[in-house]
Amino acid sequence: MTASMVMDPHPSVLHMDEKVHKGVELVMDHRYRNIPVVDDNGRYQGVFGVNCLLRMVLPKAVLVERGLTTVPFVADTLHDLYVRLKAVEDEPITYCMSYDASVVAPDTPLVETLLILYRTRTSVPVVDPESGLLVGMISYWDVYGKILEQQI
């Protein structure tokens, strides 16, 4: 058993030239954790997901590596967060996408795939290692659906 057997071969995707608001709509409408981002040729580039959504509305200073570990004194309101989101919603999707998300190959063994899924706690793109093409996406639900099917 390999990753290709539990993946969704037709996932929603975002393109590099699409705007942040498009990504926000997709995530919110479908409750996606991660949406793969591809170039014009369908080659995998990275992911846009719930982490990006949070990152865009948090003050930049709290996200700086080795920076503040807690900020209980900050009293920003929902409106402040909305203002931050509006300020970047017309930026290209590349503004906030992650380039270093974990991926698996179509022939990654099933248990290895599950372990990556378990450790990353999000959906995992399936990428052909030779062509770099996105060939699918694996979510908890895809995998668990396949597992439960075995009962029948």
Partner 1 sequence: MHHSANTMTVFGWDPIWFAGVLFILTYLIILSDRINRAIVALMSASLMIVGGVLTQEAALRGVDFNTLGLLTGMMVIVAITRRTGVFQFLAVWSAKKVNADPWGILVTLVLVTAILSAILDNVTTVLLIAPVTLLIADALRITPYPFLFAEIFASNVGGAATLIGDPPNIMIGSAVDLSFNDFLFNLGPPALIILLVILIPFYLIWGRKLNANPEDRQRVLNYNEREAITDPRLLWQSFFVLTLVLIGFIAGHNHGLMPASVAMSGAALLLLLDNLPRKADDQSRSVHATFAEVEWVTIFFFLGLFIIVHGVESTGLLTMFADHILQWTGGDTLITAMAILWGSAIASALVDNIPFVAASIPLIKSMAATFGGPEGLMPLWWSLALGSCLGGNGSLIGASANVIVAGFAERSGHPISFLGFMLGAFPLMLLSILISSIYIYLRYLS
Return the residue of 42, 59, 106, 132 that touches partner 1, per CB under 8 A: 59
For residues 102 and 46, is the Cβ–Cβ distance under 8 A? no
- Residue closer to partner 1 by CB (options 72, 148) is 72
Mark the segment that binds partner 1 (CB under 8 A) among 11-19, 62-70, 94-102, 131-139.
62-70
Site for partner 1 contains 91 (CB under 8 A)? no
- Residue closer to partner 1 by CB (options 76, 112) is 76
Give the integer Cα–Cα distance in Å for 150 and 19.
Answer: 41
Write the CB contacts of 12 (distance below 8 Å, at least 6 apart in sequence): 26, 30, 32, 35
Q: Which residue, among 90, 117, 126, has the nearest Cα to 33 in the 3D structure?
A: 117
Site for partner 1 contains 79 (CB under 8 A)? no
Mark the segment that binds partner 1 (CB under 8 A) among 10-18, 27-35, 65-73, 104-112.
65-73
Return the residue of 54, 68, 115, 147 that touches partner 1, per CB under 8 A: 68
Site for partner 1 contains 54 (CB under 8 A)? no
For residues 6 and 146, is the Cβ–Cβ distance under 8 A? yes
For residues 12 and 30, is the Cβ–Cβ distance under 8 A? yes
Residues that bind partner 1 (CB under 8 A): 59-62, 64-68, 70-76, 80
